[in-house]
A and B are shown apart, each in its own frame.
Chain A
């Protein structure tokens, strides 16, 4: 149980969570409650700020793709 998890999701949560919040320990101690809390939070976010989040993610993906293509093919192709 004490084996640390290395995943993109864990890194993102580490970035978003407060530095002094030991979320991994809390999730391991209360797994079902943590899943329910995360699902409720996601539901609230999707219901009230869903469009903003989708737009931001789409814009970020488009910019990342543009940068990657430019780096691959040379300057200012797109």
Chain B
């Protein structure tokens, strides 16, 4: 075996070793890249799922809040309508009562005046006279 053959064998062996090492390194790099990519995909999927859940929760919360607001507004509207109806009935009853009382009072006064015309006219004139006397404001006749 010549020295050249030995040298060629050594070179071939080294070359083979280098190729194997490079192949292993490349495979390791591919595996690492694949794992990283897979992990990134899983992470992205988790984040996307979480965001989707959050959006769903927010949408449901907004829907519930909207329903509650609508229900509250309807309840307030109903209460306001009832209060308005009660107030309107009270005002109407008060007006009717006052009108009836005034009508009765007018009838009573008219009846008394018809039975006592002189006394009634004298009382009215006397009241007017006193009021006029008091409303002179302290002015004295000369």
A32, B124: Cα distance in complex, Å: 10
Segment 1-15 of A: residues with Cβ below 8 Å from B: 1, 3, 5, 7, 9-14
Q: Looking at the complex, which one of A10, A13, A35, A50 makes contact with B136 (CB distance below 8 Å)?
A: A50
Are A5 and B119 closer than 8 Å at their CB atoms? yes
Are B128 and A31 closer than 8 Å at their CB atoms? no
Question: Which one of B42-50, B65-73, B109-117 is at the A interface?
Answer: B109-117
B3 within 8 A of partner (CB): no
Are B133 and A54 closer than 8 Å at their CB atoms? yes
Q: Provided the pairs A32-B109, A47-B133 are in contact, do residues A10 and B126 lie with their beta carbons within 8 angstroms?
A: no
A24, B118: Cα distance in complex, Å: 7
Q: Is the interface of B mostly helix, strand, loop or mixed?
A: helix
Q: How many A-B residue pairs have CB under 8 A?
A: 115
A53, B142: Cα distance in complex, Å: 13
Are B122 and A12 closer than 8 Å at their CB atoms? yes
Shortest beta-carbon distance, B19 to chain A, in Å?
131
Are A9 and B140 closer than 8 Å at their CB atoms? no
Task: Give chain B residues whose Cβ lies under 8 Å from the Cβ of A46.
Answer: 128-134, 136
Which of under 10, 10 to 19, 20 to 34, or 35 or more describes the interface residues of B? 20 to 34
Q: Looking at the complex, which one of B118, B125, B134 makes contact with A41 (CB distance below 8 Å)?
A: B125
Task: Give chain B residues whose Cβ lies under 8 Å from the Cβ of A13.
Answer: 118, 121-122
Q: Is the interface of A mostly helix, strand, loop or mixed?
A: helix
Shortest beta-carbon distance, A26 to chain B, in Å?
9
Shortest beta-carbon distance, B89 to chain A, in Å?
31
A65 within 8 A of partner (CB): no
Q: Which residue of A lies closest to B121 (CB)?
A: A38
Q: A14-B118, A39-B124, A44-B128 are in contact. List 6 more A-B contacts (CB 8 A).
A: A9-B118, A10-B119, A24-B117, A27-B117, A40-B128, A42-B127
